[in-house]
Amino acid sequence: MTRYQELQELLASFEKDFEKFYDKKNKSAGTRLRKAMNELKRKAQDIRKEVQEIKTAEEPATQTQAAA
């Protein structure tokens, strides 16, 4: 599974709570929604770290080739 698919599934998993909170003003759904958004934030941070690690791992190889 790709990171993009993971994000899509995560977003889809709390669609009902979005509807319940914004359309029906359900306060419990709002609490669940805040928790889900925190989970999304953590997932996004993990992906950002992973992207940076991949970029830095590839940089020395790119710089070596440019120097040659």
| 68 in a structural domain | no
The single-letter code of the amino acid at 25 is K
Report yes or no: 7 and 43 within 8 Å, Cβ to Cβ: yes
Distances (CA, A) of 39 to 6, 28, 32: 12, 17, 11
For residue 66, the model assigns a pLDDT of 60
pLDDT tens digits along 5-59? 999 999 999 999 999 999 999 999 999 999 999 999 999 999 999 999 999 998 7
Higher pLDDT, 13 or 1: 13
Residue corresponding to tokens 């993009």: 4
Q: Which domain holds residue 16?
A: 3-63
In this prediction the pTM is: 0.74
For residue 61, the model assigns a pLDDT of 61
| 54 in a structural domain | yes
Q: How many domains does the chain have?
A: 1
